[in-house]
A and B are shown apart, each in its own frame.
Chain A
């Protein structure tokens, strides 16, 4: 907003886009800043996707080791174990009590899983879960117990600690961007500090935001009184100042940034669902985050949101339990995250970003009569990224041992956040204390959710699930045999290509059961030379060389 002082600053910076914040001398004096710079600057970013309304975990990650009980308690909404839209078996190599299926509209997640980029934490909740959306969401944001009432959120406290002196001392050369960025118009409790304006700003579209900010405003009053009136005035002035400071910078990184040319973000749900759940509202948010990051944005925590999970009624269509609102939402989530992950990969940012989901609670184990589910408790959290420790943490909820018709919790939500802050952000013990997760990150509470990136098919995670072995005999004269393995029932495509990459023959295109398979092929009809055999199964791709002599 065109405050005069602001105008002066931009004219000095010529061109007038950037407002560079503090003079350098102030920075240099801030010894604490430099001390913290190392930990603050691991350049790692967390993207949180809020599934607003309370996601039905049991129809997201289906406990197929107890399928009949699952079906019994929710017959009108259960995802079937047969037919075209049966659940997708996640991974046959998991233990029996971890055997899960995922919703048929989550094939994007399945693809990422097969590349070692998905971690699932089962039955996340907190003691004495509060059945109110609003209170429970606040608890997840606040980072406290069920009976604590804090005015600040864990992200706010963490960022406040990491960047001391906010808001007055920011932006700086090292941290020119908002500490947190919430996509949309509001700033959630999560980013609130104990006092003063939140550590995040909210933005829908950086360019529009900049144009808007620069088209309005006058000079602010110089002083404010220590009264309610004065405090509210100060609040407005502080927000206004931060808007001015960050608008130009966000526009700059947004314009400098780009998305991968080859990645298509999903726009709509391709099947039947109620009209207002067709549009994918999450994809543009993630696309914007990728673009800001590629433009050099250093924001640490992003909060994106997808709403509509409060499915008391018509969670599924009465004629098909795999269709409807919830299916569309899971599709939106799954396809958006897949596109986001591929986009980050294309942009060379995959190692910097970890994405996780959260929701205020899961839903009741049993369905209700309205093809929906009432408020429940524990639900799975999904974590995505190159550095995720792939697989499942915990086991399937025990549907024979419910607590007041609800799933029993296995993990406190602060164990999940805590592990991420500790291992992903590499936070110091002091920073952990600020987040109030210190009781959830040591000893038997500690979850191991972050790992080394799955570099390739040699990685144990993948090698134990998928492989394509070298042909034998090779070189071949009469015939050769190819052995390959898949981890779940899936469509397998095995192709013979020449050296130019041209398809010579489709060797296999069929649904295969989990386990090892062998193909024997006659090579007598082939010209002598070098060939490649490629395997595609789920998210897995590999090829091996064949020489015909």
Chain B
């Protein structure tokens, strides 16, 4: 029986690794070992504690300075370049931030409130959206749902800037209901999607009417200090383009009405417009369906894509109750989920190991997890700025794209298929092409990625990694060496046969243990690593190019 009853014993290596793979972008062997000593409650509390580490804003190669205060000038690089830099800057945080759930939750926010870079026009819009995700990553989901309505990137993305009284544009209203908040339910009538109707979309588009972008990005939200959109004003300082009429919602929302609290000359005041937004989001989040929708999204992101009736009853529903009871604070439900017996496969005698290893890693999880585990050296924006951007561009963004994650440019408004497209969900990460590209990643990693000037951007020096006793206790012992890799790199125990394939067939090339010891000793005495290097690289290729390594 799936159950949220908490698990309270010391985690141990396997469960700690499982927790860290899911809640973070990856941990080192040393971090896994440290977390293995904690109970789930201790571990999860540590991961959910905001590190409060402010990453400095991205610097522009053209000026060597950041441009976010408040907006770029003519001296800065072009807009496309700046947007690109923001993405690289965010990836740097995912790869290098201290171990925490914050970056993973920020990415969750992006997969939920997905916008498309090429539709948003301004680099600051992208920057402030990423900051917003980060700000609320471990915060309140209802609050970020309000803030996203006033987000520049979102306004552009779904044509909110064109939505005016008399000239409604339904794009944002529809997706807000369908994707971002209450979610679409079964269609039970011509225009009735259970949770809302087509008329609700029209009414909601009136709520959102009359916003416009603040091209200076100087209008800041008091709470977050981040730039947000403004309300279009007329000569009298009123919301001139806002639909001031009474918005009538359907039976799905108990026929509620929302209207401006204050009208002057038939126009709403700015406060009244914002108050309508507040009332509207409150009305939606008052519905149980909203909490259920968010919990299902969290479950599919962190646990497994297939939500059975049993999981719906015993996991999703109680989580949704908790989410609503906490007024949509995320930490309580994340704590419940990640400390539950369900998460650690202890609620199901018949099928242990149901959830461990049951998620297909996103390309980002695959790459970030590998980089973090092997502690791959990457340039920082404080050392060589252009090399930094080049490395993240050529070495990360492009490879993510090849593997099916076109970062901030998903094909459709609903976002990346893995997070919404039934029936396959995360299986969408695996197609004939994408799978081959994922396997190809190990070659790039081991051969190293270079720029056009043959300058090395990054590379996994596997001999150096193995030749470090804090990673591998005794490199002369092939049994231990392979054990200490697969135990940490693969999500599940493997069969003895499989283990011997990695050890004997690949690492030893069917030769003896003694031979390996001699080769290693030869390397240590002569410094010539050519023989051990070939075998170790072959081992890493085989592990990364295994179906098991694709799983989390």
Contact = CB atoms under 8 A, between A and B. Distances in A.
A279 interface: no
Contacts of B178: 132, 134
B167 A131 contact: no
Contact of A233 (B159, B166, B434, B548): B548
A53 B497 CA distance: 49
A350 interface: no
Interface string B332-362: 0000000000000000000111111111100
Contact of A202 (B191, B411, B433, B545): B433
Interface centre among B166, B356, B431, B442 (most CB of A within 10 A): B431
B433 A204 contact: yes
B167 A370 contact: yes
A238 B541 CA distance: 20
Instruction: Give the interface size class of chain B.
Output: 35 or more
A512 interface: no
B483 interface: no
A186 B354 CA distance: 26
A133 to B, nearest CB: 7
B96 interface: no
B545 A368 contact: no
Contact of A229 (B158, B201, B306, B353): B353
A78 interface: no
B435 interface: yes
Nearest to A152: B423
B433 A185 contact: yes
Contact of A185 (B118, B351, B431, B497): B431
A76 to B, nearest CB: 10
B498 A222 contact: yes
B170 interface: yes
Given A243-B432, A312-B169, A235 B198 contact: no
A186 B414 contact: no
A201 B170 CA distance: 36
Contacts of B414: 133-134
B169 A239 contact: no
Given A209-B432, A220-B547, A312-B169, A229 B492 contact: yes
Contacts of A276: 118
A227 B352 CA distance: 8
B168 interface: yes
Interface residues of A, number: 67
A531 B437 CA distance: 63
Interface centre among A185, A202, A204, A372 (most CB of B within 10 A): A185
Contact of A227 (B169, B354, B505): B354
A202 B431 contact: yes
Contact of B351 (A203, A222, A226, A236): A226
Interface in B431-462: 431-437, 439-440, 442-443
A239 B170 CA distance: 40
Contacts of B162: 312-313, 368-370, 372
Given A221-B498, A229-B358, A232-B427, A130 B436 contact: no
B538 to A, nearest CB: 9
Interface centre among B188, B355, B422 (most CB of A within 10 A): B422
Given A239-B432, A370-B169, A138 B422 contact: yes
Interface in A208-254: 209, 212-213, 215-223, 225-229, 231-233, 235-237, 239-240, 242-243, 246-247
Interface string A183-215: 001110100100000000111100001001101
Contacts of B356: 229
A536 interface: no
A149 B505 CA distance: 47
Nearest to B424: A192
B359 to A, nearest CB: 7
Contacts of B437: 212
B440 A219 contact: no
B332 to A, nearest CB: 26
A240 B169 contact: no
Nearest to B191: A404
Nearest to B357: A229
A125 to B, nearest CB: 12
A53 B116 CA distance: 14
A472 to B, nearest CB: 60
Contacts of A130: 184, 187, 193
Contacts of B494: 221
A526 B496 CA distance: 95
A215 B440 contact: yes
B186 interface: yes
A310 B116 CA distance: 14
Interface in A293-319: 307, 310, 312-313
Contacts of A375: 170, 174
Contacts of A213: 432, 436
A221 B545 contact: no
Contacts of A227: 351-354, 358
Nearest to A240: B435
A183 B198 CA distance: 34
B190 A128 contact: yes
A232 B357 contact: yes
B471 to A, nearest CB: 22
B493 to A, nearest CB: 10
A388 interface: no
B166 A216 contact: no
A236 B353 contact: no
A71 interface: no
A240 B118 CA distance: 33
Contacts of B186: 147, 149
B501 interface: yes
B266 to A, nearest CB: 19
Contacts of B191: 128, 131, 404
B462 to A, nearest CB: 16
Which 9 pairs show the lowest CB-CB distances between chains A and B? A369-B167, A228-B358, A216-B439, A229-B357, A370-B162, A151-B423, A243-B432, A218-B542, A236-B547
Given A219-B542, A227-B352, A235-B427, 18 more contacts: A53-B412, A130-B184, A185-B404, A189-B424, A192-B424, A212-B440, A213-B432, A215-B440, A218-B541, A220-B546, A228-B354, A235-B430, A237-B547, A242-B432, A368-B169, A369-B167, A370-B159, A374-B170
25 contacts: A128-B189, A130-B193, A132-B178, A186-B404, A186-B417, A187-B431, A189-B424, A203-B433, A204-B433, A209-B433, A216-B545, A217-B439, A218-B541, A218-B545, A222-B495, A227-B351, A233-B357, A236-B435, A239-B435, A240-B435, A313-B159, A368-B162, A369-B167, A370-B162, A404-B191
